[in-house]
């Protein structure tokens, strides 16, 4: 651990990312590290002599992937890279930055520490989502944060039956359901009234979205549970199934959504002084009104 000889860089296209990319590539060159750029981020370095690869090639070739951007950029990278077992380090050029926790002005110091073997390795599980229409698979996707089944409109509710490990839980009429990992518990799930879960928990939370009955509350279940959501055939709308807010599969009345834990975990690298609770204090403003 700690010896990263080939490093891939992924990120979104923005002026802020471009600034950090120049600093990062200069620093890595001084450290005699081989650097590969993703196709998208390479556009920020015109006439670069660095090799340019797609994400699959980066996953197969690199010892470490550095993501420049916000949590959304890292979520997209995570879904692709988890299967390659390559660790990921995030440098925050976005907003909240629960996952991309290195600040731009600390880039050289923290990346240098990682290259010297001083870091914390954090493993996060992802979710698989499969939409079936009878025996036919309509679509499948992965999520690090959450899988969301919703009505797709604020004017109508959907009705669905929820099963956990083949045991009937309830029939619900609501705007939908958020199925979140601990990683996603500080994202959309939190906005929907779900609990904050420590990332080390092996658990999944089911958060109803504006349920028709006030007694419906979030449920935390074992992380190895098999979740099945059956969309009632009487629904008039076609509910979208969204993974991390980025991948959308359109379901139909009568379809079934299966959700379970993905076998491969994301290896997420943090600075040695990283603290989940400190991140919550900083990002969520805990105690900010206290002096």
Contact 269, 122 (CB under 8 A): yes
**Is 83 exposed, middle or buried, given 0-12, 13-18 or 19+ CB atoms closer than 10 A?**
middle
pLDDT digits (tens, 9 = 90+) for 174-210: 999 999 999 999 999 999 999 999 999 999 999 999 9
* pLDDT (tens digit per residue) in 109-127: 999 999 999 999 999 999 9
| Residue 290 pLDDT > 70 | no
Beta strands in 74-217 (DSSP E): 88-92, 120-133, 136-143, 146-150, 158-164, 167-174, 176-180, 203-209
Distance CA 138, CA 97 (A): 33
Mean pLDDT for the stretch of residues 68-76? 90
pLDDT value, residue 1:
43
Domain 6-119+271-284 has CATH 3.40.50.10330: yes
**What mean pLDDT is predicted for residues 251-270?**
96
Q: C-alpha 216: how far from its chain's center?
A: 26
Assign 31 a pLDDT band (cuts: 50, 70, 90): very high
> Where are the chain's structural domains?
6-119+271-284, 126-263
pLDDT of residue 3: 82
**What span, in angstroms and rounded, lies between the C-alpha atoms of 177 and 123?**
25
Q: 253 burial class (0-12, 13-18, 19+ CB within 10 angstroms)?
A: middle
Which listed residue (15, 71, 175, 222) is catalytic? 71
Which pLDDT band holds residue 70 (cuts at 50, 70, 90)? confident
Question: What is residue 207's predicted lDDT score, i.e. its pLDDT?
Answer: 98
Determine the Cα–Cα distance for residues 282 and 271; give it in Å rounded to an integer: 16
Q: What is the pLDDT of residue 81?
A: 86
Q: In percent, how much of the chain has pLDDT > 90?
A: 77
Q: What is the CATH number of domain 126-263?
A: 2.60.200.30
Q: What is the model's pLDDT at position 93?
A: 85
- Residue 288's pLDDT is 64
Q: Is the pLDDT of residue 291 over 60?
A: no
The string of pLDDT tens digits covering residues 133-174 is 999 999 999 999 999 999 987 678 999 999 999 999 999 999
% of residues, the chain, pLDDT over 70:
97
* Cβ-based burial of 208 (10 A; exposed 0-12, middle 13-18, buried ≥19): buried
Q: Give catalytic status of residue 222 as yes or no.
A: no
Which residues have CB under 8 Å from 32's CB, separation 6+?
A: none
Residue 12 reports pLDDT greater than 50: yes
Query: What's the mean pLDDT when you consider all of the chain?
Result: 92
More confidently predicted of 143 and 286: 143
| pLDDT band, residue 32 (cuts 50/70/90) | very high
Segment 46-72 shows an average pLDDT of 92
Domains 6-119+271-284 and 126-263 share a fold: no
Give the DSSP letter of residue 12: -
Confidence of residue 131 (pLDDT cuts 50, 70, 90): very high
């Amino acid at each position: 651990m700690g010896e990263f000889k080939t490093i891939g860089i992924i990120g979104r296209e923005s002026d802020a990312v471009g600034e950090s990319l120049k600093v990062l590539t200069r620093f890595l060159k001084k450290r005699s590290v081989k650097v590969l750029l993703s196709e998208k981020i390479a556009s920020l370095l015109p006439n670069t002599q660095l090799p340019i690869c797609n994400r699959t090639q980066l996953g197969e070739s690199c010892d470490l992937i550095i993501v420049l951007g916000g949590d959304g950029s890292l979520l997209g990278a995570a879904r692709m890279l988890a299967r390659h077992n390559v660790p990921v380090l995030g440098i925050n050029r976005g907003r909240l930055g629960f996952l991309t926790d290195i600040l731009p002005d600390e880039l050289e110091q923290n990346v240098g520490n990682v290259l010297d073997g001083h870091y914390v390795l954090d493993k996060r599980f992802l979710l698989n989502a499969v939409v079936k229409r009878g025996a036919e698979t309509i679509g499948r996707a992965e999520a690090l944060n959450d899988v969301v089944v919703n009505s797709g409109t604020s004017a109508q509710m959907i009705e669905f039956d929820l099963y956990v490990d083949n045991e009937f839980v309830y029939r619900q009429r609501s705007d939908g359901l958020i199925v979140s990992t601990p990683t996603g518990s500080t994202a959309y799930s939190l906005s929907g009234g779900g609990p904050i879960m420590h990332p080390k928990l092996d658990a999944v939370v089911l958060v109803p979205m504006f349920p028709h009955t006030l007694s419906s509350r979030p449920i935390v279940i074992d992380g190895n549970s098999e979740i099945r959501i059956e969309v009632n055939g009487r629904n008039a709308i076609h509910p979208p199934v969204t993974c991390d807010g980025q991948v959308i599969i359109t379901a139909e009345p009568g379809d079934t959504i299966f959700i379970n834990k993905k076998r491969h975990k994301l290896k997420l690298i943090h600075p040695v002084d990283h603290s989940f609770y400190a991140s919550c204090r900083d990002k969520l403003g805990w105690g900010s009104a206290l002096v």
